[in-house]
Amino acid sequence: MLRGTFTRRGALSAAAGVVGAGVTVRLADAATPHASHQHGGVPAATVDPEVNGFDPSVILRDFDRGKTRKLAGGRTLREWEIVASDKDIEVIPGVRYAAWTYNGRVPGPTLRAREGDLLRIRFINAGTHPHTIHFHGIHSAVMDGTPGVGPGEIEVGKEFTYEFEARPAGLHLYHCHAMPLATHIAKGLYGTFIIDPPEGRAAADELVMVQNAFDTDFDDDNEVYAVNTVAFHFMHEPVRVRRDELVRIYLVNIVELDPINSFHVHGNFFHRYPTGTSAEPTEYTDTVIQGQGQRDVLELRFPSTGLYMFHAHKTEFAALGWMGFFEVAE
Amino acid sequence: MKAPVAVALLVVALAAGCGAGGPGELAVTQTTLQPRAFTLVLRNGSDEVVRVAQAIVNDAFVDFFASARTIPPGDVEAFVVPYHWIRGENYEIRLMTSTGSTVDSEIDDAS
């Protein structure tokens, strides 16, 4: 019995062999415009960054330190302007998703400060729903971006300036906290918030990897998984690093609708610094599990050149887009 | 690496009114198994042009082939999904459109 239908699940008891006369379909080879242009399930190309207006590879190393000036007493003031807006983005070749964005990208800009800086974030809601920015960190209630507290939800066309001190040092998040919360996060309103310790960190090739996912058919289940939004992107555009150079990964899990996510690297091990709040690693491993909103700073060096895969070891997510390569060169 | 060349001629029965999906729906009306492949017939019962962008088998994106990926309203198209299926196991096959919508069909006890 056949019951497979649009947005509904059904069962089919199928048998091998084909059927009678009707429509004739000639299947051309993979090089024709109508073939899927995929290789083993991985699309043969990634999404053109021009389509989305942002590039997952650029997001890796794109740190926004804001406009800065020194205040009386020598303290640094950092100022940003963040605009929420609606935007269609392509999350896997050929598939558009109606996202909500901070500054036109998913994830939003990676905001970076030093512990003790004064931060001022002017938030403008140019979207079509009320939004906020809720920062993880230590700050007053009125600056928390929570509905019903302080300014609460910022209405469409309105703005609010959040102001607080950068603390504690570590790897944090910011995201919309308007209700319904899962929807406002899942549609793309999130970003990475890094507070460097006063003494800084050792020089490294630093990479921001935001694990995210998209429920493209609105069935409360994600269909597409990625790092920095575009599924399989780093299969085509490997993360290029140098042999023996210290690589520091700011790993964030912002996937909604699934309780856990994970990161695994091939041919190597890394030191794990949970939330980046301690100078001492807690683990030396090749796989880390993260719950929703969890973050880890990972440090590693590749001793040999070549291609090394990284992916979710929740392998369903890997096969649905969350996989890529490091390309290690001299 | 260039994908393997897959050339096949399929004859697919489409008896009027058979299969699932009423007016206004996008529906898989037939699913058949061949050695190392599934074939799905998708009927566009909606009043909009539909473009199939991706295929998923058991929660993994997979390759697929079709003579056309864009289906006008009221039309049908066959999609071949190369897959090394296992006798007696169950499969969920999804076609994903350019809007992210999905059309599902399931195979129980593949044989």
- For an interface test with B, the pick among A19, A25, A34, A90 (most B C-beta atoms closer than 10 Å) comes out as A25
pLDDT score of A139: 98
Min mean pLDDT across A105-119, A245-259, A316-330, B20-34 is at: B20-34
Q: Do B61 and A29 touch (CB under 8 A)?
A: no
What ipTM goes with this model? Answer: 0.86
- For an interface test with A, the pick among B48, B67, B98 (most A C-beta atoms closer than 10 Å) comes out as B67
How many Å apart are CA B20 and CA B104, to the nearest integer? 11
A169 and A265, same structural domain? no
User: Which chain A residues contact residue B21 at CB under 8 A?
Assistant: 5-6
Q: Scanning the structure block, which residue is given the tokens 């899927």? A: A36
pLDDT score of A40: 67
Asked if the structure places residue A54 within a domain, the reply is: no
Q: Is the pLDDT of residue A17 over 70?
A: no
A149 and A258, same structural domain? no
Nearest residue to B105 via CA among B17, B38, B15, B16: B38
Q: Count residue pairs from A and B with Cβ separation < 8 A.
A: 219
User: Which chain A residues contact residue B4 at CB under 8 A?
Assistant: 30
Q: Do B98 and A16 touch (CB under 8 A)?
A: no
Asked if the structure places residue A168 within a domain, the reply is: yes
How many Å apart are CA A124 and CA A76, to the nearest integer? 23
Output A19 or B86, whichever has higher pLDDT. Answer: B86
Q: Is the pLDDT of residue B2 over 50?
A: no
Tell me the whole-structure pTM to 2 decimals. Answer: 0.88
Show which of A196, A230, A246 is a domain's final residue: A196
Average pLDDT score over residue span B5-17: 34
Q: Is the pLDDT of residue B8 over 80?
A: no
Asked if the structure places residue A5 within a domain, the reply is: no
Nearest residue to B46 via CA among B75, B70, B66, B18: B75
Q: Is the pLDDT of residue B55 over 90?
A: yes
A214 and A192, same structural domain? no
How many Å apart are CA B49 and CA B74, to the nearest integer? 9
pLDDT score of A45: 83
8-state DSSP, A28: -
Show which of A196, A222, A248 is a domain's final residue: A196
Q: Closest approach of chain B CAs to the CA of A165, in angstroms?
A: 41
How many Å apart are CA A183 and CA A215, to the nearest integer? 10
- If one counts the domains in chain A, the total is 2
Q: Which of A9, A38, A216 sits opposite B104 (nearest CB)?
A: A9
User: Which chain B residues contact residue A26 at CB under 8 A?
Assistant: 9, 67
CATH value at residue A241: 2.60.40.420
User: Which chain B residues contact residue A51 at CB under 8 A?
Assistant: none
Integer-rounded Cα radius of gyration of chain A: 22
Give tens-digit pLDDT for A273-323: 999 999 999 999 999 999 999 999 999 999 999 999 999 999 999 999 999
Average pLDDT of chain A is: 90
Q: Closest approach of chain B CAs to the CA of A93, in angstroms?
A: 7
H helix or E strand, kind and range, residue A58: helix A56-60
A321 and A221, same structural domain? yes
Asked if the structure places residue A23 within a domain, the reply is: no
How many Å apart are CA A142 and CA A153, to the nearest integer? 11
Residues sharing a CB contact under 8 Å with residue A192, sequence separation 6 or more, in sequence order: A107, A110, A111, A171, A172, A173, A174, A208, A210, A250, A252
Q: Do A18 and B15 touch (CB under 8 A)?
A: no
Q: Which of B9, B55, B96 sits opposite A216 (nearest CB)?
A: B96
Q: Is the pLDDT of residue A56 over 80?
A: yes
pLDDT score of A47: 93
Average pLDDT score over residue span A16-38: 39
How many Å apart are CA B6 and CA B1, to the nearest integer? 15
Average pLDDT score over residue span A198-205: 97
pLDDT score of A209: 98
Domain of residue A136 covers 69-196
Asked if the structure places residue A188 within a domain, the reply is: yes
Q: Do B35 and A321 touch (CB under 8 A)?
A: no
Residue of B nearest to A215 (CA): B100
- Kindly indicate the confidence band of residue A23, based on its pLDDT and cuts at 50, 70 and 90: very low
Domains of chain B, each with CATH number or no CATH = 3-107 (2.60.40.10)
- For an interface test with B, the pick among A12, A216, A220, A225 (most B C-beta atoms closer than 10 Å) comes out as A12
A189 and A81, same structural domain? yes
Q: Closest approach of chain B CAs to the CA of A211, in angstroms?
A: 18
Show which of A146, A165, A196 is a domain's final residue: A196
pLDDT score of A42: 83
